[in-house]
Amino acid sequence: MRSADATINKHKRELELCTYCPKLCRHSCPVSNATGRETHTPQAKMQLLNHLQQGSVEWTRETARPLFACLECKNCTTYCDHGNDVAGALAAGKAAASERGLQPIEYTQAVRDYRLRETRLRNALQRTAAASEMATRGRIAYLPGCDNIEFFPETISDAFSIFRRLDLRFVRMPSGITCGGHPLWAAGAWSAAHVETERLLEHLSGFSTLVMGCAPCTDLWRRRLEEHGISHQLDVIHTSEFFFTHLERLKPRSVRRAALFHDSCSLGRGLGVYDPPRRVASRCVEHLGEFFHHRDRSPCCGADPALDAAMPEVRAKQRTERLGEASRYGIDTVVTTCARCRRSLSRSAAGDQRNTVDLVDLTNLLAEALHTENR
Ligand code: SF4
Ligand code: SF4
């Protein structure tokens, strides 16, 4: 496994470029926009990491704290003329602080919660899935993701109804897995995440293709694990891409009048997957529209459990602005491809506006379109 300090060194040039930049991407960061704090701008966080790494600032819990004020959304990279990977550098910064035992309490709690919820998720999965839908080996493993298991179990039933419609009776959920491990990596607990990933790989060894319902885990398993020095032979695909490849066989019909499409950071800026989910959604609604900021400029939904606990104002602001825009356009359906976006945008916070927008996963929308056609 590549250490956090070695990963920071890989970003040395980017840290230098940011340190001397007049903050050209400052408007793009959802964290500094919500907190209004100069120390939370991408430039300030990168400059801080540069100084910490060079030893001109001492690593302490207090000095390291701004490194954790990052959602790893990559929006700043879109606006950077150098294409600097701020999210990657700050992820390594969080891990370096955690390796020194300097992580904020909310991040320690996030790692603890990952362990504690395992039983909860297994029980929820048993209630949702038939025993015949689980297996230790097969051609295709379907991993719905922890947020779908816990909060949106209907997405799992909908996915299997689409698999059956395609006569893909060999798709199974891998036994012993409820989460792809992204929350551990996002919390900066790289050692624990590495051990967990090795465990997951053992459970997945009997499969050749991994279809994932979680956008951050798709990005992790297709692209980022390799950056961490972890290799595997699995063909990793997101459910929206999978359904797109079978779209002509499915032939869905429009079941809703209009909807807006919300890009997830991981599927969009992370993997560059913009068109396949739109092509599927546009077959299920009469008019699929766009937010003013969309594709690589789409704002993050603010979903990060640890950051939400530390700075709830970030997610509240993202939710208010995103749903407020949909309401202004008179649109009552927003389609996402990520259960974490769906949960983040649908959970109200104190003082937040009432949610009148129906947030649906693309899997739900597609199943609805196929089900309606059947009647
Ligand atoms: S990411 Fe680019 S635009 Fe933003 S501070 Fe760094 S160098 Fe400047
Ligand atoms: S990756 Fe996102 S949250 Fe992190 S500094 Fe850049 S814009 Fe801000």
Residue 189 to residues 70, 71, 104, 254, 332, Cα–Cα distance (Å) = 15, 15, 12, 44, 39
- Would you state the pLDDT for residue 135? 83
| Distant-in-sequence, close-in-space partners of 162: CB < 8 Å, separation ≥ 6 | 243, 250, 363, 366, 367, 370
> What spatial distance separates the first Cα and last Cα of the chain, rounded to whole Å?
53
Q: How far is the CA of 365 from the centre of ligand 2 (A)?
A: 30
Same domain, yes or no: 116 and 173: yes
Cβ of 266 less than 6 Å from ligand 2: no
DSSP-assigned letters across all residues of 181-206: SHHHHHTT-HHHHHHHHHHHHHHTTE
Q: Which of 190, 222, 245 is the last residue of a domain?
A: 245
Range of the domain at 297: 253-374
Cβ of 188 less than 6 Å from ligand 1: no
Q: How many domains does the chain have?
A: 3
**Residue listed under structure tokens 């051990």:** 195
Q: Which of 203, 223, 245 is the last residue of a domain?
A: 245
Q: What is the DSSP-derived secondary structure letter of residue 83?
A: -
CA–CA dist 30, 230 (Å, integer)? 30
Cβ of 145 less than 6 Å from ligand 1: no
Cβ of 23 less than 6 Å from ligand 1: yes
- Would you state the pLDDT for residue 375? 41
Q: Are 342 and 319 in contact (CB under 8 A)?
A: no
Same domain, yes or no: 170 and 190: yes
Rounded to two decimals, the pTM is: 0.94
Cβ of 42 less than 6 Å from ligand 1: yes
Cβ of 75 less than 6 Å from ligand 2: yes
Positions of the chain with pLDDT under 50:
350-351, 373-375
Q: How far is the CA of 31 from the centre of ligand 1 (A)?
A: 15
Q: How far is the CA of 222 from the centre of ligand 2 (A)?
A: 21
- Would you state the pLDDT for residue 12? 97
Same domain, yes or no: 92 and 135: no
Q: How far is the CA of 23 from the centre of ligand 1 (A)?
A: 6
- Residue of the nearest CA to atom 6 in ligand 1? 18
Pick left, alpha or beta for residue 188 (phi over 0 → left; psi -120 to 50 → alpha; otherwise beta).
left
Q: How far is the CA of 27 from the centre of ligand 2 (A)?
A: 10
- Would you state the pLDDT for residue 299? 96
Same domain, yes or no: 219 and 239: yes
Q: Which of 245, 262, 297 is the last residue of a domain?
A: 245
Q: How far is the CA of 186 from the centre of ligand 1 (A)?
A: 22
- Would you state the pLDDT for residue 263? 98
Q: How far is the CA of 10 from the centre of ligand 1 (A)?
A: 16
CA–CA dist 48, 27 (Å, integer)? 19
Same domain, yes or no: 225 and 116: yes
Same domain, yes or no: 34 and 163: no
Q: How far is the CA of 22 from the centre of ligand 1 (A)?
A: 8
CA–CA dist 47, 178 (Å, integer)? 38
Over residues 225-244, the pLDDT tens digits come to 999 999 999 999 999 999 99
Same domain, yes or no: 272 and 240: no
Same domain, yes or no: 115 and 159: yes
Indicate which CATH number applies to the domain containing 308: 3.40.50
Same domain, yes or no: 94 and 109: no
Same domain, yes or no: 232 and 135: yes
Same domain, yes or no: 230 and 303: no
Cβ of 76 less than 6 Å from ligand 1: yes
**Residue listed under structure tokens 């980022």:** 224
Cβ of 90 less than 6 Å from ligand 1: no
Cβ of 44 less than 6 Å from ligand 2: no
Same domain, yes or no: 195 and 322: no
Cβ of 87 less than 6 Å from ligand 2: yes
